[in-house]
Chain A
Amino acid sequence: MKSRLSLVTLACLLACGGLALGQSNQNVSRAEYEKLKKELEALKAQMKEFKQTAPPSTKAVKEQAEMIQEQGDELDRLNKNLRQAKSMAESLKPGSTKHLLTGYGFVGYTDRQGGRGNFSAGLNPIFLWKHNDRLLFESELELGLEGNTTEVGLEYAQISYLLNDYVTLAGGRFLSPFGIFRERLHPAWINKLPDAPLAFRHHGGIAPLNSLGFQTRGGLPLGPTKLNYTLFVANGPRLNDGEDEMDEAGMLHFDNLEDLDDNKSVGGRLGFLPIPELEVGYSVQYASVSGGATTANRAEVWLHGSYLSFVRDCDLLKGTFDLKAEWVWSRVGTVTYDPDTTLADGVVGGGFGPLTFKNNRAGGYAQIAYRPSKLETPFLKDMEPVVRFDMLDLPSGAPMGADEDRWTLGLNYWLNPTTVFKAAYQFGERRPPGGSKASVDAFLIQAAMGF
């Protein structure tokens, strides 16, 4: 009984399971079957086709990549050559100029013993036009304050041509290549003190400042050493005969825009650099000047100058030393000024003459500056103490024949390589012939910016 019941139960269960399975199976229609069959055949065909298209081998891929790389390199070379050719063509084309506006400005204050404290300011824009690799035009204006007026001057305006590696030709108005202060060191952001040395100052100095003429110059490598030279011819200086300014009788004025006596001045400078940090040199200038209201038709002028420049970085002392020294001698032939004693409004006996003296003048400076640029301390490394001694010896018989010498102690702070604040105190002494010496101490400050 029990076994029959078990068998029936099992049969029922199997029947139910079969029914369930049977109900879950969907019958697939013929159309659907054909469709599926077709899709399967298509997939098989694609697989077969894919297998037949063999992938490139590794070697082929490499070769193709190398070919692409080579073509890319060749294209780069072509582009570079094209750029160079284009640049060369541009440089030769008339009108393809490059230009630069640079220059410097300054403000200052000077309080000198025996005088009144005065503020000063100036602007010197420099215009540079480079026509091509050989031709350059350079010009500097000087805008300053003189008395109650604004003075506009032309420091230089010259065209230069690089003839070859050793010769540059230049003509126009140029900074005098006599010595190095005027040509290289006078801009306010380069000069390490607020004023110029006595021998190189605008008023009362003895060295020429500007010339109008022609020069040839260049640098010559000599093995491990170097030579540089400048030769020039320019409108000659004018000898002040005292007719306009009695006090300036015997002084030379170099700033002639026209040659007053059809006699040019010639001169040159030769510099030698035995090591890169050291330059020594010699300058000379000759002119024959009109005597004007003197006994002589002409007077000969000889100027001589020597200079030394030594600038060296020093790891041991953690900074840069800068030593400069120049000396100038001026010799003017002996003449008699105001021989008829008339150079005082034409009144006989009212003039300052007849005046004769040996017209030899000399002056120069020695300066040392030190900047501890290798110190780690940010403020200290931008400080720069400076000491300068300068002097001027004038003929004792000249109307303004006071000798003068000065010690100047300065301290500079460099805000950046071309911006500097300067403060200096000058201990000066002036000694007129036959008179008592006078102190001309001064306090000077200046801010200068090169741009």
Chain B
Amino acid sequence: MKNIKKRIACMTAVAGFASLALLATGCQTTGKSSASSDAAGSASLAAGGAQLWSQNCQRCHNFRSPSTYSDAQWDVAVHHMRVRGNLTAQEHRSIAEFLKSAN
């Protein structure tokens, strides 16, 4: 392939350099509550769910406001996202609980 290896190397270098640069600049994520997500109660689930929501959903798309859907609709939407985004079971439960408590 014409210059293919060179192009692959270039693209890989660009992507890798950008990642390292962003990591190295010490960018801090916005302060989000990092309460225990040990599922001891729905309040704990919801608190941990806020952080998981911000970490996982943002990887693909903007955040929909929790008030977008009702509790029953969030159950469906988050289940769909668990399948599509390969969320873990704990992430699924925590994020759903957070969205239903915040809507």
Contact = CB atoms under 8 A, between A and B. Distances in A.
7 contacts: A100-B73, A136-B79, A221-B90, A321-B27, A325-B14, A393-B2, A417-B62
Contact of B56 (A168, A190, A276, A327): A276
A316 B77 contact: no
Interface stretch (A225-233, A244-252, A344-352): A225-233
Contacts of A325: 11-12, 14-15
B87 A219 contact: yes
Contacts of A98: 72-73, 75-76
Contact of B69 (A100, A166, A311, A362): A100
A329 B18 CA distance: 23
A149 to B, nearest CB: 30
Interface string A286-314: 00000000000000000000001111111
Given A183-B84, A311-B58, A393-B1, 13 more contacts: A129-B76, A162-B82, A165-B88, A166-B88, A190-B60, A219-B91, A226-B88, A309-B59, A313-B27, A313-B29, A360-B1, A362-B8, A417-B62
Report the interface size class on chain A: 35 or more
A432 B72 CA distance: 54
Interface in A190-229: 190, 217-221, 226, 228-229
B76 A130 contact: yes
Contacts of B28: 314-316
Nearest to B20: A310
Contacts of A417: 61-65
A271 B30 contact: no
Contact of A315 (B2, B19, B27, B90): B27
Contacts of A230: 86
Closest 6 CB pairs of A and B: A228-B86, A314-B27, A165-B89, A417-B62, A276-B55, A219-B88
A360 B14 CA distance: 24
A221 B79 contact: no
Contacts of B62: 414, 417-418
Given A166-B89, A279-B59, A315 B30 contact: yes
Interface of A: 98-100, 102, 128-130, 133, 136, 138, 160, 162, 164-166, 168, 170, 183-185, 189-190, 217-221, 226, 228-230, 271, 276-279, 308-317, 320-321, 323, 325, 327, 360, 362, 364, 366, 368, 374, 389, 391, 393, 396, 403, 405, 414, 417-418, 450
A308 B15 contact: yes
B70 to A, nearest CB: 10
B86 A229 contact: yes
Contacts of B77: 100, 102, 128
Interface in B1-51: 1-2, 4, 7-8, 11-12, 14-15, 18-19, 22, 25-30
A75 B28 CA distance: 47
A315 B77 CA distance: 30
A128 B60 contact: no
Contacts of A393: 1-2, 4
A228 B82 CA distance: 11
A129 B28 CA distance: 39
